[in-house]
Structure 1
């Protein structure tokens, strides 16, 4: 097999299983180092046993390259594939109906890979569209995008969209919901984006009335398309092992918030990250009863995490989420019609 494809596949599977970052970087770094070599140099070095002399290629990654060039599936990859298996078998049917992912991060904020790598991986997974949604400026710990950086990213996204046949690259943001319920970005810029995910990242233990008013203000903002990970909970340690093992749910009036989402045509995110799985099943069922729209997203911070959509699909199927109310099962034309909707009469909202 192609040695670069083998290295990238290994990195993808390591990311998918939440392996330590240094292991992933070893294989992604080796793929980049191999790609930079002059034509034929990879083969010559493999034959001479000098691959490990190349900066960025170590003994393990050299063995992968040598075995791939010899026409074998590298042993390291075989072992990973055998141990990976299906992530969430019960979610496979719904995953087949999804056309894209609307919550994806890159190294422009707190992701680990360039936008280009995230986009290429989305295409390899069969997506028809993917939204680049890096953080907004208030979230400094995540290197959020100030307005000038977001403008530069918009140019990059437009260039990628133009050269990716078969995949629409959508501009977006995961916008912090400020304490007063406003969105953490300039209105002019929010109006230029294809999609806005609005999420609470601070003061998560505020009293229920305070959190409810904050979330209602954001849902009623004309720029909000998706309400991200609504409870903010953490049910396990994150892949960087730097996050707390657990974080309780925020408390808020779910009936009021979901009713507002349904009325305004704002989708409730089904966040697929294994340490989030947000909203909890009881709230997901409540949102279904309220008539909400939904978006099943990965909140991916690395290419391999784009496969986590299956976790959200499994939960959506368990709670009976109607497929036509999942916005990322829609063709891109319908999706963009929704994100540019008339907020006075949002298509797809409850009762429409």
Structure 2
């Protein structure tokens, strides 16, 4: 087995399992170091025992490389495949919708609070079978997540163009997860938001605001023609550091989403699973579109979309109401013009 492939697969499975970043980074760093060596130097260092002296390799990663070079599947990888390589949900739950997905509208890179480079995230999405994905790093106000200033976002747009040249026909679409400010305004220059393929708008501050002002806040955001997707609408955290749902008038907010063609995100992160099923069913009844998104901060977390697919199937969300089942052209036509693709149900489209 190729040592780089073994190290990257271990990192992917650790991310899929939700492991802490430092554990994952050790394997991704080792893969980068090993990948820069010629095959001859790699085997020479393995033979003379100098691999472990390379900066970026430790005892565990060196053992993985040695075992891979000897033709074995590294023992650590074998154990991880048994622990974390199987299905994330039982039986066929979510499988039908997962097969229908063509992309992912919400993921982060190391430009904000993700752990991997932009191209690594795009390659992982491609390798999972997607035709496209949207890069949605955070906006400036979220300083704890190293949100992108206007200048940094412009620089990222240039990088996305370069990545697309290398990965075509796969498409990395431009985007942002834009903070919804206290008054419902968006945390980025409107002219810059207009240049993006997809804008996901989310609340990250004052999550315990009273229901009335929170409702006004969300209504202002989802009614904004620059917003395409309402991200993790309740802001809840159901594992780790628990956080209750934000309170708002869901009937009003989802009606506005339907009227203004703003999709409601089905956030797949196991610590969120947002919205809860009762609100997911309410949004469905209101006639909204949906976006099943991983909200991945590492390549292995892109695989979490199956969780959202299972929840959507449980709530009888039809595939034609899910924008992540559309082609990149259908998606960008919708975000640019507000027209739902022919044959897709939703506001402004066919029944």
Which TM-score tier does this pair reach, normalised by the shorter chain?
over 0.9
* Distance in 2, Cα, partners of 1:72 & 1:338: 49
- 1:166 matched to 2:169: yes
- Give 1:304's aligned residue: 300
TM-score, normalization: structure 2? 0.95
* Distance in 2, Cα, partners of 1:191 & 1:19: 36
| Deviation beyond 6 Å, 4+ runs, structure 1 | none
1:181 alignment partner, SS class: coil
CA shift at 1:48, angstroms? Answer: 2.1
The answer as to whether partners of 2:340 and 2:347 remain within 8 angstroms in 1 is no
1:174 alignment partner, SS class: strand
Alignment of 1:79-90 (within 5 A): 79-84=79-84, 85-89=86-90, 90=93
Write the deviation string for residues 256-281 of structure 1: whole angstroms up to 9, x where unpaired: 11011111111000000000000000
- Give 1:334's aligned residue: 330
- 1:8 matched to 2:22: no
Question: Unmatched 5+ residue regions in structure 1?
Answer: 238-244
CA shift at 1:60, angstroms? Answer: 1.1
CA shift at 1:74, angstroms? Answer: 1.0
2:181 alignment partner, SS class: coil
2:318 to 309, 317, 322: 322
- 1:228 matched to 2:225: no
- Give 2:115's aligned residue: 112
Write the deviation string for residues 234-277 of structure 1: whole angstroms up to 9, x where unpaired: 0002xxxxxxx210000101011101111111100000000000
* Distance in 1, Cα, partners of 2:348 & 2:18: 41
* Distance in 1, Cα, partners of 2:301 & 2:46: 31
Write the deviation string for residues 183-227 of structure 1: whole angstroms up to 9, x where unpaired: 110011000000000001111111111001100100111110000
CA shift at 1:25, angstroms? Answer: 1.0
CA shift at 1:346, angstroms? Answer: 5.9
TM-score, normalization: structure 1? 0.95
Write the deviation string for residues 139-181 of structure 1: whole angstroms up to 9, x where unpaired: 1111100100000000000111121023101000000001111
**Number of residue pairs aligned between Structure 1 and Structure 2:** 343
* Distance in 2, Cα, partners of 1:123 & 1:102: 14
The answer as to whether partners of 1:264 and 1:349 remain within 8 angstroms in 2 is no
* Distance in 1, Cα, partners of 2:318 & 2:113: 32
1:208 to 195, 208, 211: 211
What's the RMSD between the two structures over aligned residues?
A: 1.2
- Give 2:132's aligned residue: 129
* Distance in 2, Cα, partners of 1:33 & 1:281: 45
- Give 1:184's aligned residue: 187
CA shift at 1:50, angstroms? Answer: 2.1
Call closer, same or farther: CA 1:39–1:73 in 2, change over 3 Å: closer
* Distance in 1, Cα, partners of 2:245 & 2:330: 33
- Give 1:42's aligned residue: 42
* Distance in 2, Cα, partners of 1:120 & 1:69: 25
* Distance in 2, Cα, partners of 1:118 & 1:129: 11
